[in-house]
Amino acid sequence: MTLTETEANFIIIGGGIAGAGAGYELSALGKVILLEREAQPGYHTTGRSAAVYSATYGQGDPVLRALVLGSTDFLKNPPAGFSEHALMSPRRHLTICHRDDFAPLARLHDDLAQVTDDVAWIGREEILGMLPVLTEPYQEKALLERDFFDMDVHALHEGFLRGLRSRGGKVITGSPAEAIERTAAGWRVSTPTGTYEVPVLVNAAGAWVDEVAKLADVAPIGIQPLRRTAILVDPPAGQDIHNWPFVTEAKNTFYFKPDAGKILVSPMDQTPSDPCDARPEEMDVAYAAYHLEEAIGHPVPRIDHQWAGLRNHVADHHPVAGFDPEAKGFFWLAGQGGFGIKTAVAMSRITASLIQGEGLPEDLVALGLKEDDISVKRLKK
Ligand SMILES: Cc1cc2nc3c(=O)[nH]c(=O)nc-3n(C[C@H](O)[C@H](O)[C@H](O)COP(=O)(O)OP(=O)(O)OC[C@H]3O[C@@H](n4cnc5c(N)ncnc54)[C@H](O)[C@@H]3O)c2cc1C
């Protein structure tokens, strides 16, 4: 059946965390239709993350820090009824470094110390207290951060979608935007499930944002998907890994963390990719296993599960939120890289505020964020 829907105020293309969060906020302002190509809205990057919150992501990058801090209250105390589960649970962050070269760790310490007090040097005893299996070359010193959490991505994503629906919005899955036309009043989006006309279109299509723009005859922003791999393996026999920290190697060659009784490991690969259903490469899976074996001194006999996802960046690795300067009513919500879950609350609030013509929310301005930091204009000079 094909239907034409002209009653909606906003159409959102993409049902990952970005589109879902935007839909949650916008549905308080008007009728939202969210279109998702896949049967499951979290099928692509959103369902493939490492699910952690860090207030110093990107070596303390101030723009990302403002967006994370601007999301924190909601994540720690979501509105009543938003989720049955806590969205965050504490997990310490340990950055380890091979004793051959402590320079990267020292640089990280200096950068983080500029933005937070929550970064401490720790020595062998404390390191082994947290991670008794860590091998000798990594035991000498490490950096500890406590303002770090596991996130329940599914609960956050579902909470956004449930909120959107309860305010009268619609989530239509299996519904790819296939053609987009400008109309006198805004945009007409055609999908196999129907044609929709709205004044405001939000492009939250993750790795595909430039492809969606092309359909609408809007100039691209230069999104670059970067593939990242993760594996799940069994812990060493007899080890209680439940309270292990999230461990990052200081040169960003790998990270690992406990995940529902298994160890999640990533070789922190970032291989340029076209937008696609990303699959892990054998070599990246092998690197992940190798790094874990080297760090914890136990063989990895079997890979339980492996996957890859696309982290989507624009040139300066900051996200993008705003109306296209040359296409009235075409709003970009893009470039969430490796930080799209922990910043989703702030990015969604920003989306609603900018669409209403109200500028950035005041609390984000107070955190030092400027509209230019995330504007579309910076990518279209
Ligand atoms: C291995 C890995 C680890 C990560 N770890 C973390 C972490 O610990 N913390 C964190 O904050 N972030 C993390 N991230 C990043 C985070 O997952 C992303 O930033 C976030 O999920 C991006 O969400 P999105 O909604 O933009 O994209 P997606 O989830 O990819 O959603 C975009 C959606 O648009 C849909 N779509 C595309 N084209 C169309 C169309 N034409 N019509 C309809 N629908 C369309 C797609 O089907 C897709 O579902 C990680 C990412 C990876 C890959």
Q: Are residues 228 and 217 in the same domain?
A: no
Phi-psi region of 329 (alpha: psi -120 to 50; beta: other; left: phi over 0): left
Domain with residue 243: its CATH number is 3.30.9.10
Index of the ligand 1 atom closest to the CA of residue 178: 41
Residue 316's contacts (CB-CB under 8 Å, 6 or more residues apart) are: 378
The answer to whether residue 219 sits within a structural domain is yes
Give the mutation target among 341, 343, 345, 374 for probing the ligand 1 site: most ligand atoms within 8 A of CB: 341
Q: Give the residue from 3, 5, 147, 131 showing the smallest Cα distance to 75.
A: 147
Q: Do 333 and 353 belong to one domain? A: yes
Owner of token pair 């200081």: 250
| d(CA 36, ligand 1 centre) in Å | 12
**Residue 291 maps to a domain:** yes
Give the nearest ligand 1 atom to 17 CA.
25
Instruction: Find the 126 Cα to ligand 1 centroid distance in Å.
Output: 36
Each residue's pLDDT tens digit in the chain (381 positions)? 344 556 799 999 999 999 999 999 999 999 999 999 999 999 999 999 999 999 999 999 999 999 999 999 999 999 999 999 999 999 999 999 999 999 999 999 999 999 999 999 999 999 999 999 999 999 999 999 999 999 999 999 999 999 999 999 999 999 999 999 999 999 999 999 899 999 999 999 999 999 999 999 999 999 999 999 999 999 999 999 999 999 999 999 999 999 999 999 999 999 999 999 999 999 999 999 999 999 999 999 899 999 999 999 999 999 999 999 999 999 999 999 999 999 999 999 999 999 999 999 999 999 999 999 999 999 986
What was the pLDDT predicted at 104?
A: 97
Going from the Cα of 312 to the center of ligand 1, the distance in angstroms, rounded, reads 8
56 domain-assigned: no
Distance 115 CA to ligand 1 centre (A): 28
Ligand 1 atom 26: the closest Cα is on which residue?
A: 206
Q: Is the C-beta atom of 227 inside 6 A of ligand 1? A: no
Q: Tell me how far the alpha carbon of residue 211 lies from the centroid of ligand 1, in angstroms.
A: 15
Tokens of 264: 């999640």
Q: Do 231 and 303 sit in the same domain of this protein?
A: yes
Judge if 228 and 203 occupy the same domain: no
Which of residues 313, 344, 368 is at a domain's end? 313
Q: Decide if 318 contacts 373 (C-beta within 8 A).
A: yes
Could you tell me if 228 and 303 lie in one domain? Answer: yes
Give the Å distance between the CA of 203 and the centre of ligand 1: 13
Residues 6+ apart with CB under 8 A from 201: 10, 11, 12, 13, 180, 186, 187, 189, 216, 329, 330, 331
C-beta of 340 in contact with ligand 1 (< 6 A): yes
Tell whether 323 is covered by a domain. yes
Q: Which of 288, 313, 338 finishes a domain?
A: 313
Same domain, yes or no, for 325 and 219? yes
Can you give the CATH number for the domain in which 169 is found? 3.50.50.60
Q: Is the four-CA dihedral 163, 63, 246, 74 of positive or negative sign?
A: negative
Q: How many domains does the chain have?
A: 2
Of 258, 278, 313, the last residue of a domain is: 313
Full residue range of the structural domain in which residue 335 is found: 4-51+153-223+316-379
Whether the CB of 338 sits within 6 Å of ligand 1? yes
The pLDDT of residue 65 is 98
Q: Does residue 348 belong to any structural domain of this protein?
A: yes
- Residue 7: predicted pLDDT: 75
The pLDDT, as a whole number, for residue 381 is: 66
Q: Are residues 228 and 294 in the same domain?
A: yes
Q: In this structure, are 357 and 237 located in the same domain?
A: no
**130 Cα to the center of ligand 1, angstroms:** 32
Q: Is residue 326 included in any domain, yes or no?
A: yes
Q: Which two tokens stand for residue 362?
A: 């005041």
**300 and 168 in a common domain:** no
Check if the beta carbon of residue 222 is closer than 8 Å to that of residue 235. no
CA 268/CA 253 separation, integer angstroms: 6
242 shares its domain with 219: no
Ligand 1 pocket residue status of 35, Cβ below 6 Å: yes
Are residue 364 and residue 256 in the same domain, yes or no?
A: no
The answer to the question of residue 267 being in a domain is yes
In whole angstroms, give the CA distance from residue 261 to residue 264.
Answer: 10
Sign of the torsion angle spanned by Cα atoms 364, 378, 311, 356: positive
Q: Identify the pLDDT of residue 128.
A: 98
CB 287 within 8 A of CB 266: no
d(CA 10, CA 32): 5
Q: In sequence order, what are the beta bridge partners of 149?
A: 53, 90
In a domain, 84, yes or no: no
Does the reported pTM lie above 0.85?
Answer: yes
Which residues does 150 contact at the CB level (< 8 Å), separation at least 6? 51, 52, 53, 88, 89, 90, 91, 246, 257
Give the closest residue (by CA) to ligand 1 atom 27.
206
> What pLDDT is stored for residue 6 in this prediction?
63
| 360 dihedral zone (left: phi>0; alpha: psi -120 to 50; beta) | beta
Centre of ligand 1 to C-alpha 271, Å, is 16
Q: Tell whether ligand 1 has an atom less than 6 A from the beta carbon of residue 208.
A: yes
Q: Which two tokens stand for residue 233?
A: 């393996």
* Buried/exposed 87-102: b ≥16 CB within 10 Å, e otherwise: bbeebbbbbbbbeeee
The residue behind tokens 């009235």 is: 328
3-class secondary structure per residue, the chain? CCCEECCCCEEEECCCHHHHHHHHHHCCCCCEEEECCCCCCCCCHHHHCCCEEECCCCCCCHHHHHHHHHHHHHHHCCCCCCCCCCCEEECCEEEECCCCCCHHHHHHHHHHHCCCCCCEEEEHHHHHHHCCCCCHHHCCEEEEECCEEEECHHHHHHHHHHHHHHCCCEEECCCCCCEEEEECCEEEEEECCEEEEECEEEECCHHHHHHHHHHCCCCCCCCEEEEEEEEEECCCCCCCCCCCCEEEECCCCCEEEEECCEEEEECCCCEECCCCCCCCCHHHHHHHHHHHHHHHCCCCCCEEEEEEEEEEECCCCCCEEEECCCCCCEEEEECCCCCCCCCHHHHHHHHHHHHCCCCCCHHHHHCCCCHHHHCCHHHCC
Nearest-CA residue for ligand 1 atom 16 is 340
- Statement to judge: residues 259 and 335 lie in one domain: no
